[in-house]
Chains A and B, each alone.
Chain A
C-alpha cells in the first residue's frame, strides 16, 4: 500500500478517498484533501520529517502522520 511516506523524493501521488478519516483535521484544513495532488519535495537528513507540497501548501509533516495518508500513484 502506498502512502505519502513511501513516495520517493520528487515523486507525485494523489491522496486517496479512503484515507479521509485518518487525515488529522489540521492537515485537512491546510489543504491535504482527498483527491489532491501531493508531491514529496524533500526528505530531512535523518529521514524524518517529510517536506511535501499539496494544494499549493508547502508543509513539513512527520513520517508517522505521512504513513497514515494513503495515496494512489498516477
Chain B
C-alpha cells in the first residue's frame, strides 16, 4: 500500500453484482479486516488500475440508501461521513443494476450530493437486449454530471473502462451535488444549516442531524448548532420524506430522456418460478427437501476429508514425537498444539460445504423466497424471516451464524436469534453423538428400512431446533426491549450462481471461522494440555508408585505405560478438578472421568471423544474409533459393577450436549456482537442449567 494509491469505496444496492465487480477488480488481492472501533468485517482489495496506479478498494455492505436501518448499513454512512484524510474515500464507485436503474439512482443521487468524486457503473448490461432496454450513455453522463460506465461484471466486460474512469475521476476531482436539496424543500432552513460549517457539504450536515451521527472531526461549537436543528423532530421526518420524493422526481426527469424499456420483451421466468417456490404447499415441501439434500451431502462429502485431516494430524504428531528430542516443549507441541490445530481444521469440510450451499442459495435469489415463506412463522417466536439463515448456518457452526444476524434491523429480533442459535446442532456435537449412539443404540432397522441409529441422530437435530424455537418464544415474552420491528426484503431476479463469487464467499467464511474459533480452541487446548500433564506431588510420584503397585502383575511394557498414563491423569490438576465436580454430576450418571471430558469440552464439544480416549488410555496416535468405542464399552461403573455407558448414561450425556453452552469461541463472538458480557453469561448459565436439569430428569427416569 503506498501513499499514491487511490482509495475507492464500492457502494451499491444488494443484488446488483457489487460482489462480482469487487472480485473482478481485485482478484485474489483481498483481505478482511475490521473497521476501527466497530466489529463489522471490512473487505478490502488492491486493484491495478494502470501500469503506475493502484487503488485500494473497500467493499461496503449493500444498501438501498445512505439512511441506515441495520448494523450492516450503518457502516456505509460512517465511512462516508469521515473527513480525515486517512480513511475517507477519494472516489466512490456506485454499482447499479441496469434493470432497476431508477431505484439504484436514488442511492447514487445521495452519494453525489456528498460532493465526493463519483463513478457510476451500470451492471448487467448483457441483459439489456433481452429485457428491451436502451440507454443514451452520452446524454446520461451529461445529465448525471459524472463518469458512467456500462459493464457486465460476470462476463468481465467493461472492467478496464471502470479502472480508467476511476483514474479520470480522481484526477479531475470534480464533485458537485446532483439534486441540491436546499432550494427545493425549505431554502431558509437549509441555508442556515449550510452556514454551520464550511468543511462539510450541505448533505453531509443534513445526514449528521437526521442520522444522529457526528464524525470526530466536528467541533463542539458545530455540534451544538447542529443539535439545535434536531429540536423539531417532525420537521426532520417531513423533510426526509420530501427529499426522497424530490430525488425521484429528478431521477425520473433524467431517465425519461435517456432510458427506454420495451416492455413487450419482458419474460416471466420470475413469475413462473415464484409460483412454485412460494406456493403454500410446494414452497415448504421444496424447502424441506432442499434441507434434507444439504444435510445428506454434508455428511456424505465431508467424511472423507475429515478422516484425512484427522489421520494427517495424528501422523504429524507421531512424526514429531519420534523425531524431536523428548522434553516439555515436544510434549506441548505433540499433545497440545498439533492436536489443537487439528481440532480446528477438522471442521473445515463440513463448514465449507454448508457455506457452499448457502452461498449458492443466496446467489440464485432463492434465499429471499425462504425469508418470505418463513417470516410469519418466525415472528410468532420473536424472530424475523431473516433469522432462518443463521439458524441453518448454525448447523455447521454458531460463530458465522451469529455474524449473519447483522442484516436483521430490529435489535430485539436480532438478539433473540443470537441467543438461540447455539441450540441448533453444530458440527462439533456430531462426533459426540456419533460415538454415544453407536454405544447405546442397537444397529437395527425398524419397519424394515429406517435405521434406528440414524433416526436417533435425526431426533437430536430436531431436539436442537425445537429447543431454539421454544427458547425464542420464552425470550420474546420475557425480554423487555422496545425496538422497532421493520421488515422489507427485496425479491431479486433468479439467476445462475457465479462460480467465482461462490468460491470467494466460501473461502472468506471458512477463513473467518478458522481465525475466530481457531485461536480460542487452540489456546484452550494448550491450557488443557498443561492441566492434564501437570499436578501436585502425587502426580510426580505416579510413575514410581504405579510401577511398584503392578510389579507382580506381569504386564507388558505397553500395558504398563497405559496404566501409568491413566494414574497420572487421575492425579493431574484436571483429574483433581474432575474429582471435585464428581458429586455434582453423579445424579446425572457421570463419574469424574466423564467430568474431565465435560470440562475439556469447553474448548470445543468434540474434544469429549479425544479426552475419553486419553482417559481410557487408548494408545497414543491410534484414533481408530472402534478401539475407543471398545474401551468405552468395557468401562465399568464401580458402584454397580455394570457397564458405565449404559442406555441411561448415554441418553443423559447426549441431552447434556444438546443443551449446554460448551463453546468458548461462541461466547466470545456473542460478547463481540452484543457489546456486553451480560448476554453470553446468560447463555452460559441458562443453557447450562437447562442441560443439567434435563440430563438429571433423563437419567433418573431411564435408570
**Interface residues as binary, A33-48 with B (CB distance below 8 Å gives 1, 0 otherwise):** 1100000011011111
B487 and A56 form a contact (CB under 8 A)? no
Contact check: which of A20, A21, A29, A49 meets B375 at CB < 8 Å? Answer: A49
A14 to B491, CA, bound (A): 21
Beyond A21-B241, A33-B244, A44-B375, 8 additional contacts (C-beta under 8 Å) are A24-B486, A28-B245, A44-B376, A47-B376, A57-B103, A59-B488, A65-B486, A65-B488
Chain A interface size, under 10 / 10 to 19 / 20 to 34 / 35 or more: 20 to 34
Question: If the complex has contacts A21-B241, A28-B245, A33-B248, are A51 and B490 also in contact, measured as CB distance less than 8 A?
Answer: no
Contact check: which of B241, B373, B488 meets A44 at CB < 8 Å? Answer: B373
- Chain B residues with Cβ below 8 Å from A48 are 375-376
Interface residues of B in 406-447 (CB under 8 A from A): none
Interface residues in chain A, defined as those with a beta carbon under 8 Å from any beta carbon in chain B: 20-21, 23-31, 33-34, 41-42, 44-49, 51, 55-62, 65
Question: If the complex has contacts A44-B376, A48-B376, A60-B368, are A26 and B488 also in contact, measured as CB distance less than 8 A?
Answer: yes
Distance (whole angstroms) from the CB of B501 to the closest CB of chain A: 21
A28 to B280, CA, bound (A): 29
- Chain A residues with Cβ below 8 Å from B248 are 31, 33
- Chain B residues with Cβ below 8 Å from A41 are 271, 274
10 pairs from A and B in contact (CB 8 Å cutoff):
A26-B69, A42-B275, A44-B373, A46-B377, A49-B487, A51-B491, A55-B102, A57-B490, A58-B492, A60-B489
Interface residues of B in 346-391 (CB under 8 A from A): 368, 371-373, 375-377, 385
A66 to B97, CA, bound (A): 26
Distance (whole angstroms) from the CB of A45 to the closest CB of chain B: 4
- Chain A residues with Cβ below 8 Å from B376 are 44, 46-49
Contact check: which of A20, A42, A56 meets B102 at CB < 8 Å? Answer: A56
A51 and B65 form a contact (CB under 8 A)? no
- Chain A residues with Cβ below 8 Å from B281 are 45
A41 to B241, CA, bound (A): 26
A29 and B100 form a contact (CB under 8 A)? no
A34 and B245 form a contact (CB under 8 A)? yes
Distance (whole angstroms) from the CB of A19 to the closest CB of chain B: 11
**Interface residues as binary, B260-285 with A (CB distance below 8 Å gives 1, 0 otherwise):** 00000000001100110011110110
Say yes or no: is B477 at the interface (Cβ < 8 Å to chain A). Answer: no
Contact check: which of A21, A42, A60, A65 meets B371 at CB < 8 Å? Answer: A60
A30 to B385, CA, bound (A): 19
Say yes or no: is B646 at the interface (Cβ < 8 Å to chain A). Answer: no
Distance (whole angstroms) from the CB of A35 to the closest CB of chain B: 9
Question: If the complex has contacts A47-B376, A49-B375, are A59 and B64 also in contact, measured as CB distance less than 8 A?
Answer: no
Say yes or no: is B99 at the interface (Cβ < 8 Å to chain A). Answer: yes
Contact check: which of B103, B237, B368, B377 meets A56 at CB < 8 Å? Answer: B103
A56 to B321, CA, bound (A): 66
B373 and A45 form a contact (CB under 8 A)? yes
Contact check: which of A26, A44, A59, A60 meets B65 at CB < 8 Å? Answer: A26
A33 and B245 form a contact (CB under 8 A)? yes
Residue of B nearest to A54 (CB): B103
A45 and B375 form a contact (CB under 8 A)? no
Contact check: which of A20, A42, A47, A49 meets B241 at CB < 8 Å? Answer: A20
Say yes or no: is B238 at the interface (Cβ < 8 Å to chain A). Answer: yes
A42 and B103 form a contact (CB under 8 A)? no
- Chain B residues with Cβ below 8 Å from A25 are 67, 237, 240-241, 244
- Chain A residues with Cβ below 8 Å from B377 are 46
Interface residues of B in 222-245 (CB under 8 A from A): 237-238, 240-241, 244-245
Residue of A nearest to B409 (CB): A26
In the complex, the 9 A-B pairs of residues with the closest C-beta atoms, listed nearest first = A45-B280, A46-B376, A58-B491, A29-B65, A60-B489, A60-B372, A28-B244, A48-B376, A31-B103
Count contacts between A and B, CB distance < 8 Å.
Answer: 105
Say yes or no: is B162 at the interface (Cβ < 8 Å to chain A). Answer: no
**Interface residues as binary, B2-30 with A (CB distance below 8 Å gives 1, 0 otherwise):** 00000000000000000000000000000
Residue of B nearest to A36 (CB): B248
Say yes or no: is B106 at the interface (Cβ < 8 Å to chain A). Answer: yes
- Chain B residues with Cβ below 8 Å from A33 are 244-245, 248
- Chain A residues with Cβ below 8 Å from B100 are 56-57
- Chain A residues with Cβ below 8 Å from B283 are 45
Contact check: which of B241, B486, B488 meets A60 at CB < 8 Å? Answer: B488
A26 to B409, CA, bound (A): 12
- Chain B residues with Cβ below 8 Å from A55 are 102-103
Distance (whole angstroms) from the CB of A27 to the closest CB of chain B: 6
A42 to B375, CA, bound (A): 14
A34 to B271, CA, bound (A): 25
- Chain B residues with Cβ below 8 Å from A62 are 375, 487
- Chain B residues with Cβ below 8 Å from A49 are 372, 375-376, 385, 487, 489
A65 to B368, CA, bound (A): 18
- Chain B residues with Cβ below 8 Å from A34 are 245
Distance (whole angstroms) from the CB of B495 to the closest CB of chain A: 14
Distance (whole angstroms) from the CB of B581 to the closest CB of chain A: 47
A71 to B375, CA, bound (A): 24
Interface residues of B in 52-93 (CB under 8 A from A): 64-65, 67, 69
A44 to B100, CA, bound (A): 24
Q: Which of A20, A45, A57 has the most CB of B within 10 A?
A: A45
B486 and A42 form a contact (CB under 8 A)? no
- Chain A residues with Cβ below 8 Å from B490 are 30, 57-60
Residue of B nearest to A34 (CB): B245
A42 and B487 form a contact (CB under 8 A)? no
B241 and A28 form a contact (CB under 8 A)? yes
Interface residues of B in 102-159 (CB under 8 A from A): 102-103, 106
A44 and B278 form a contact (CB under 8 A)? yes
A27 and B241 form a contact (CB under 8 A)? no
A56 and B375 form a contact (CB under 8 A)? no
A40 to B393, CA, bound (A): 32
A30 and B372 form a contact (CB under 8 A)? no
Residue of B nearest to A24 (CB): B486
A29 to B275, CA, bound (A): 27
A61 and B245 form a contact (CB under 8 A)? no
A25 to B372, CA, bound (A): 21
A44 and B64 form a contact (CB under 8 A)? no
A64 to B145, CA, bound (A): 40
A20 to B239, CA, bound (A): 12
A56 to B377, CA, bound (A): 28
Residue of B nearest to A47 (CB): B376
Residue of A nearest to B242 (CB): A20
Interface residues of B in 470-497 (CB under 8 A from A): 486-492
A30 and B492 form a contact (CB under 8 A)? no
